[in-house]
Amino acid sequence: MGNLEISEVLDAGTRREIVMLPWAVYSGDRNWVPPLIKEHEGLLDPNRNPFFRKAEVALWAARRDGSLVGTIASFIDPDFNAHLHTRVGFWGFFEVLNDYEAAAGLFAQARDWLRDRGMQELRGPINFHRDRERGLLVSGDDCPPPLLCAHSPGYYKGFAERFGMRKYADDLCRRLWVSDVVGPAGELPPRIARLEKVAQRRSHIKIRKASFDRWDAEVQLVQELYDATIGKLPDHVPWSSEDMHSFAAEVRAFLDPDFVLFGEVEGKTVGCLVAFLDFNQMLLRMNGRVDGWRKLVAWWHLKHVDTISLKIGGVLEEYQGRGIEALMLVQIAKAAVRRGFRMVDLSLLAEENDKLTTLVGHFPAQEYKRYRVYTLPI
């Protein structure tokens, strides 16, 4: 097969090669969503991505007879380890042709680099931030991934497990067809109508849309609710204010007040749901570039997106069990019907999140994708 060489990536030219490698890996795969090239370059550039200022990161390239065949990043997030009192190192940005020797060499390089720095566990794939593009796709490769979710060839799972990695956790994508939740005139099926009535009686909640005129204050409110709810789940680390505001600025163009809801009880904000236009449906058709005349094409495809993707949601613990989450989800489904959307995607949902599983169980939601994060003691 030729000589295999693995080396650390230290220059912009090789980073550019790595960014373009997925076009070879996913050639002919109609369900792969090409990332925006400029954005992907920025994620891997130490001078542009603030993550590099706080983390130790190494990027590796595998070449066979000089040709790039694979890549992986190994990194240590000191905030994660300090918050959870662990010694976990991560791998991510993993792409490789169907070449197990190259994949094993990349895994071994990431493992050894992390072990030399005192880490005791190798975990991944995670692309720097634990709330986006996490895990290998282990089921559901028959359709494109929703916003901020990954797509991967079936052989990746086999490569990871052959190397000795084992399941750490699974995350799920579930979907709701809005026609199963809300009728064309806004009517609800009897079961959901009863749920809405009981929840309204129990909660005395007022649901309001986000005010984008108060952008910074609303983002801060989402962060506080996230940290008080989802941020308390195992292995979750609170977002920094810088990270949250940076992420919010990145996705602002794909937010709509109809799908950013806050729940208030006696004037106190106790919960929120945040859903985005699933702009992966647009990116699927852009081949990694939105510039020049492509901006007009992107605008046209955005006008025809038929899915919203629910990414952030939670209710303060003392207000849980009153049906507040269900009421907000029903309101999002009603807004989706009015606006002509066909589907609400719910992702990523941690398999072990029993409260969220119970909530979703009140609705006719279907699991349609499953992602797996792997672990390996080192």
pLDDT in tens, 208-245: 999 999 999 999 999 989 888 876 777 888 888 888 88
Structure tokens at 370: 């499953």
Structure tokens at 25: 């890996």
Structure tokens at 240: 């920094």
Structure tokens at 355: 């409260």
- SS3 of 104-140: the string is HHHHHHHHHHHHHCCCCEEEECECCCCCCCECEEEEC
- Which residues make beta-bridge pairs with 372? 136, 170
Q: How far is 89 from 311, CA to CA, in rounded Å?
A: 25
Q: How far is 230 from 218, CA to CA, in rounded Å?
A: 17
On the CB side of 372, how many CA atoms lie within 13 Å of its CA?
17
pLDDT in tens, 110-168: 999 999 999 999 999 999 987 778 999 999 999 999 999 999 999 999 999 999 999 99
Q: Residue 253 — very low, low, confident or very high, per pLDDT cuts 50/70/90?
A: confident
Instruction: Please say whether the beta carbons of 308 and 344 come within 8 A.
Output: yes
Pairing relationship of beta strands 136-139 and 166-177 according to DSSP bridges:
unpaired
pLDDT in tens, 177-200: 999 999 888 889 888 899 889 888
Closest Cα partner for 5 from 60, 59, 62?
A: 62
Longest dimension (CA), the chain: 70
Q: Cβ atoms within 10 A of the Cβ of 266, count?
A: 8
What are the backbone dihedrals phi and psi of residue 332, each rounded to the nearest 5 degrees, phi first?
A: -65, -40
| pLDDT of 274 strictly over 90 | yes
Q: How confident is the model at residue 184, as a pLDDT?
A: 85
Q: Residue 69 — very low, low, confident or very high, per pLDDT cuts 50/70/90?
A: very high
Structure tokens at 37: 């090239």
Instruction: Please say whether the beta carbons of 51 and 123 come within 8 A.
Output: no
Please state the separation of Cα 295 from the chain's center in Å. 24
Mean pLDDT of the chain, nearest integer: 93
Could you please state the CATH topology (level 3) that the domain comprising 175-371 is classified under. Answer: Aminopeptidase (3.40.630)
Q: Residue 9 — very low, low, confident or very high, per pLDDT cuts 50/70/90?
A: very high
Q: How far is 256 from 276, CA to CA, in rounded Å?
A: 7
Alpha carbon distances (Å) from 304 to 143, 147, 149, 206: 17, 15, 20, 31
Helix (H) or strand (E) holding 94: strand 88-96
Q: What percent of the chain has pLDDT over 70?
A: 99
Average the pLDDT over 8-26 and give the result: 97
Closest Cα partner for 155 from 104, 111, 189?
A: 104
Q: Which CATH superfamily is domain 4-128 in?
A: Gcn5-related N-acetyltransferase (GNAT) (3.40.630.30)
Structure tokens at 107: 């895994």
| pLDDT of 333 strictly over 90 | yes
Instruction: Please say whether the beta carbons of 178 and 164 come within 8 A.
Output: no
- List, by residue range, all CATH 3.40.630.30 domains of the chain: 4-128, 175-371
Structure tokens at 335: 């807004």
Structure tokens at 296: 């007009």
Q: How confident is the model at residue 353, as a pLDDT?
A: 79
Q: Cβ atoms within 10 A of the Cβ of 108, count?
A: 12
Instruction: Please say whether the beta carbons of 280 and 286 come within 8 A.
Output: no
